[in-house]
Amino acid sequence: MDVVILSRADTATDFVARVIARELRRAPQLTLGLATGRTMEAVYARLVQMHREEALDFSACHTFNLDEYAGLPASHPNSYRHYMNQLLFQQVNIDLANTHLPEGVAADFTAECARYEAEIIRCGGIDLQLLGIGNNGHLGFNEPLSAFHSRTRVQVLSPTTLAQNAPQFASPEQMPRRAITMGVGTILDCRRCLLLATGPEKAAIVARALEGPVTSMISATALQWHPACTVVLDKAAAGQLKEKEFYRWVFANQPEWNFYREALPAAKPAPRKQAAKRAVAAGRLK
């Protein structure tokens, strides 16, 4: 696991978008796993900007979303299909036929979950899975005690998740109590994971997920077993990590991230160093 700690939320968001864009340019037929939620809104806005300003091409890629509320049709303003259409799919040149979410109003949820798993396999599996982390450490809607070999299924949402997501609905009573979610095992099958977390409210659960014991009570701890996982944090979300300096050292010396460092503007010398340079130029110092 690589842990990337950046100074601000917008910097962390930009980093994640750049990683996705780099992978998409390398492999235009990439299969992306996508997440929803407030943290992801800025990621999608940045990808849309890159599409418009840098010709980032989505035309050949496929996407699979982590989850969808059970009981909400695609047209519902709180459905994740509506979220994705509004924030990304209808803003870029992706073929909507290649964008996949579970059907929230399927007549047979068991059959729908099996169909979704089969569709992922038909597309060759997920190459890059974008993830967020819930306040209780869930990935997708894999609530506490989700088995690490679990597949796409209907999950009853925990009180913590209901409290976290209910403000997005007109009234808390309107939020569904169940959702269809990729399983932890489905997520672990992807070739690469990219998790983004920002803000001080995520600091405690991030520390438990990354540095605590692996446990089904926190599904995100399963990522400790994934062979290619990158976790991107802002300074606030990394606040309770014990090994911050080690993670910064790895990031500074990891060649994979040169593409990002080379794109950053050169740092300006500190004021004292600038004064010293001026003195050397004037011949007052050697």
Sign of CA dihedral 255, 186, 72, 91: positive
pLDDT score, position 264: 66
Per-residue pLDDT of 150-167, as tens digits, reads 999 999 999 999 999 999
- For residue 285, the SS3 value is coil
At 279 the pLDDT is 46
DSSP code, position 147: -
Q: What is the pTM of this model?
A: 0.91
What torsion do the CA atoms of 172, 82, 206, 231 make, to the nearest 10 degrees?
Answer: 180
Q: What is the pLDDT of residue 269?
A: 53
Percentage of the chain lying above the pLDDT 90 cut: 89
What residues contact residue 199 under an 8 Å CB cut-off, 6+ apart?
A: 9, 234, 236, 237
Number of neighbours of residue 27 by Cβ within 10 angstroms: 13
Catalytic residue from among 65, 136, 142, 165: 136
116-159 residue pLDDT tens:
999 999 999 999 999 999 999 999 999 999 999 999 999 999 99
Please tell me which residue in 14, 103, 143, 234 is annotated as part of the active site.
143
Task: Give dist(CA 236, CA 169) in Å, integer.
Answer: 27
**pLDDT tens track for 152-211:** 999 999 999 999 999 999 998 999 999 999 999 999 999 999 999 999 999 999 999 999
Confidence tier at 268 by pLDDT (50, 70, 90): low
Tracing tokens 């992801």 back to the chain, one arrives at 40
Q: Which domains does the chain have, with CATH numbers?
A: 2-281 (3.40.50.1360)
Q: 143 an active-site residue? A: yes
> Which residue in this structure is represented by tokens 């506490």?
144
Q: Average the pLDDT over 108-121 and give the result.
A: 98
CA distance 244 to 5: 8
- pLDDT of 278 reads 54
User: Nearest Cα to 65, choosing from 45, 51, 81?
Assistant: 81
Distance between CA 164 and CA 223 in Å, rounded? 22
Six-digit token string for 223 = 């990522």
Confidence tier at 280 by pLDDT (50, 70, 90): very low
Q: What is the pLDDT of residue 235?
A: 98
pLDDT in the model for residue 261: 78
**Active-site position among 14, 65, 67, 117:** 67
> Amino acid identity, residue 42?
A
Q: Torsion-angle region of residue 34: left (phi > 0), alpha (psi -120 to 50) or beta?
A: beta
> 59-73 pLDDT, tens per residue?
999 999 999 999 999
67 tagged catalytic: yes
> pLDDT category, 284, cuts 50, 70, 90?
very low
Q: Assess whether pLDDT exceeds 90 at residue 262.
A: no
Class of residue 211 by CB neighbours under 10 A (exposed 0-12, middle 13-18, buried 19+) = middle
Mean pLDDT value across residues 32-54: 97
54 is catalytic: no
Work out the pLDDT band at 266, boundaries 50, 70, 90: low
